[in-house]
Structure 1
Amino acid sequence: MSEKANTTKKNKFFEIANKNFIMLFIAYTVICVAHSMTQATASAGWKTMGMDMSVIGIISGIQGWAAFIIRPFSAPIVDRGNKKKIYLFAVGLFTVAIFMYAQSMVNTAWAAPTKLIHGIAWTFISTVTAVTLSEYVPREDYGTALGFFMVSQMIASAISQPIAFALAGKFGYHTMFLIFTVVAAVGTALVLLTSPTKTPERKGGSMFSGIKLNNLFAKEAIMPMLINVAYQGTRSGITVFMAAFALEELGLENIGLFATFASFTGWVARPFLGSLLDKKGPKATLITAGISFSAGLLCLAMAQNLAMFCIAGILIGFGQNGISPVLMAISMRTVPEERKAAGNSTNYLGMDIGSAVAATAGGFMVSAFGYRLGFAAFIVPVMLATVVAAWYLGRLDKKEKAK
């Protein structure tokens, strides 16, 4: 490569890696670390305090229901409001939620309001992060910058649970959550250090006046949304109950390696899954991923040691990373060009509903039939969703060919 090309590449990197980008990247990474460990560790902590699994399931579902109610309104508010101020509000509220988790490890009466606050805060964080980033990097470099932020999610998911369970084992769950409260507070402080963003010009009305039902939901994307309910619900459901299962039945205090293996497998498998999607199409990719996901659930139901949890993590990580992009593509294909934002929003609503329903129903299943049968039962919606999705993709292909 010529010296001129090297210089151009370096200059482009430094255009992206300005002060605001670096602050926001570090802030988002540490916030994702605090977020990624909460679902599994909170359930395990509440279980050690004697809370019944059916109650844990109901409480864990509150986060998903809060996201379901708030998410449709978050995008219009972010679009019409000051991005930095909304981000500061969201990460500040998230920090409060992590502190409330710590209090819930002393008094379980804190558990339900904690999940409510967490659901509201994270919905806004997931909506506003990418939009705020666009304010700080050149338009032509936005895709590259966003790619770095996706890496931060993977890093957080891979390292957060092993660290959290190790801290909980040494100091207790209360102290562990206090430590992560400080981590979240550091993220809030870093957001505070970024440059101000402009408030968009609004032609009359407040930032809430842009909220319209037509912009929030696309009826054309109902089927992909329902398919996502099954997949996302299953992934969230096993996360809620897995740590408690490992601790109660197998005496394993730290199963954070499950999340580590799932995250790295997804990252490594992405090139293969992308090639499969290009060469064989979405139907073949979805069926392959669905079988892998189901095999991971079966492995989880039969787990006797940490190694089997890690194998389950590999299979589920592969499956999830094959399913998510296909479902997103299906949602985009079902709606007209001018309704893609609504289609995307509807897809995420399916994720929120799935998280809420699976946590609630899973708690009752685990209490009634035990952990292993509960995990095995999740295979049914995954395989059913895979079959329905494959049929639906075939139907879409026929429609597009007919046109």
Structure 2
Amino acid sequence: MKTHTLWSKNFILIVVANLFVYQGFQMLIPTLPVYIKNLGGSDLQAGLVVSLFALSALVFRSITGKGADSIGRKPFLLIGFFILILFNVSFFAFSIVAMLPLLRLFQGVGWGMTSTSIATIMSDNVPDARRGEGTGYYALSVILATSIAPIIGIAVLNHYDFNMILILTTVFMIIGFLFTQGISIPKLDKLDKQANKQKESFWKSLFEKQALLPSLLCLLLAIPFGGLMSFIAIFGEEVGIENSWIYFVGHCLMILISRPFIGKLFDSRGPAIVVFPGAILMLIGLLLLSYTTTVPMLILTSVFYGLSFGAVQPSLQAWAIDRSNSDRKGAANGTFLSFMDLGVALGSLVLSSIAAATSYAMMYRMSSICMVIFIIVYGVYLLKSRNKKHADVYAQTAYH
């Protein structure tokens, strides 16, 4: 469905639904590792629960992206919600550390299907000329939930047991589902389905090649992000900061302040003006976090990291969609989000092992290497693009 207005009824419902779904999902990110450790689990088991979830979501994002392009968006949205909510409720029945990774694995299937379907429906309802702005506001719903949900989750866990977390997350997911039922989602016609099926083999069409570079960059920033979001509460305990949730306040405020102009800057000037300086700020934020021992330092970290992540991640997603054909939006979103899940999975598993062997401060210091690689890879791409542009101009001049 191609629209000319950004703030249509569909787009508003998508953003609101996405906010509630991510709110429910993100409340589990910082609280589930704490819950596992309270049950007697190890740092490695806490990381494994996060990693298995992300890996199963990764696999089903790719399948959902392909299916959304060839079958339609709605079936995958409905099935994804059913699985996601079913396995969230199943946590009530199990409080054994050995069972939690398995439950989380299946919940990742539902999450991969649900989030990829919503992202693809969002892409259908954003005008091409406002891709950066529209994707930015969609991403704002993700980032707001990422910022607010951990505050609520940690506060609830400090005053109640984990069952209260499960009640709230289930309610948020159900509300998100209800909002999606008001979205007009047209069915793919038979010609579209046949064209999509005939283009490529199933395995080749799972990933969108044009979205690979932005997706690879997203993987690099997702590795430290997974470590930050999953273990910030435990890091706070390690360095003696009781109110570690305050990090998310600064993170959220910086994104709210920057979001109105970041998307417009992307649309008018392209991704480089946003992505390159944002990556540098993210590197600074991670290094600051690794040396943080006080609340003021934690707030300063949230300013740097919140501003940069809120600018870079949605810009990379908009860039991935822009580089892909209009009939490959599902695959582009699936590819991009799969790489982000892979980064979170690697971050949670590898970084938790580093934390177990050293400290959480050292873990964050080591994770900053990912942003150094990010800056190098993107810098090389910009240099090659610039040289190619100059070569094309020279060739055209010489020809004339």
Interval containing the TM-score (normalised by the shorter chain): 0.7 to 0.9
Contact 2:239 2:293 (C-alpha < 8 Å) held by counterparts: no
Q: 1:83 to 1:235 in 2, by over 3 A?
A: same
1:202 to 190, 209, 220: 190
| Residues 165-187 of structure 1: CA deviation (Å, up to 9, x unaligned) | 12111112232222322332333
Across the aligned residues of Structure 1 and Structure 2, the Cα RMSD in angstroms comes to: 3.9
2:373 to 365, 384, 387: 384
Deviation at 1:147, TM superposition (A): 7.1
Gaps of 5+ in 2: 393-400
Deviation at 1:28, TM superposition (A): 3.3
Q: 1:188 aligned to 2:177?
A: yes
| Residues 16-64 of structure 1: CA deviation (Å, up to 9, x unaligned) | 44xx777665543322210122211211222222321122222211122
CA distance in 2 between partners of 1:242 and 1:186 (Å): 28
Aligned letter for 2:244? I
Q: 1:323 aligned to 2:343?
A: no
Aligned letter for 2:282? F
CA distance in 2 between partners of 1:87 and 1:239 (Å): 26
Q: Hey, what does 1:42 align to over in structure 2?
A: 32
CA distance in 2 between partners of 1:281 and 1:200 (Å): 31
Give secondary structure in 1 for the equivalent of 2:362.
Answer: helix
CA distance in 1 between partners of 2:72 and 2:172 (Å): 25
Q: 1:244 to 1:102 in 2, by over 3 A?
A: farther
Q: Hey, what does 1:179 align to over in structure 2?
A: 168
Deviation at 1:382, TM superposition (A): 0.9
Question: TM-score normalised to the size of structure 2?
Answer: 0.80
How do 1:71-90 residues align onto structure 2 when only pairs under 5 Å count? 71-81=61-71, 83-90=73-80
How do 1:93-104 residues align onto structure 2 when only pairs under 5 Å count? 93-103=83-93
Q: Hey, what does 1:165 align to over in structure 2?
A: 154
CA distance in 1 between partners of 2:377 and 2:254 (Å): 26
Aligned letter for 2:232? M
Deviation at 1:358, TM superposition (A): 1.2
Q: Hey, what does 1:91 align to over in structure 2?
A: 81
Contact 1:91 1:187 (C-alpha < 8 Å) held by counterparts: no
Gaps of 5+ in 1: 1-11
How do 1:2-401 residues align onto structure 2 when only pairs under 5 Å count? 16-17=8-9, 26-81=16-71, 83-103=73-93, 106-132=95-121, 149-191=138-180, 194=182, 199-202=187-190, 212-219=202-209, 222-250=212-240, 252=242, 254-270=243-259, 273=262, 282-283=271-272, 285-325=274-314, 327-328=316-317, 331=320, 345-401=334-390
- The total of aligned residue pairs comes to 385
CA distance in 1 between partners of 2:196 and 2:98 (Å): 33
Q: 1:237 to 1:110 in 2, by over 3 A?
A: same
The percent identity for this pair of structures is: 20
| Residues 85-143 of structure 1: CA deviation (Å, up to 9, x unaligned) | 43232222222233244555x222332123222322222222222555689x8989998
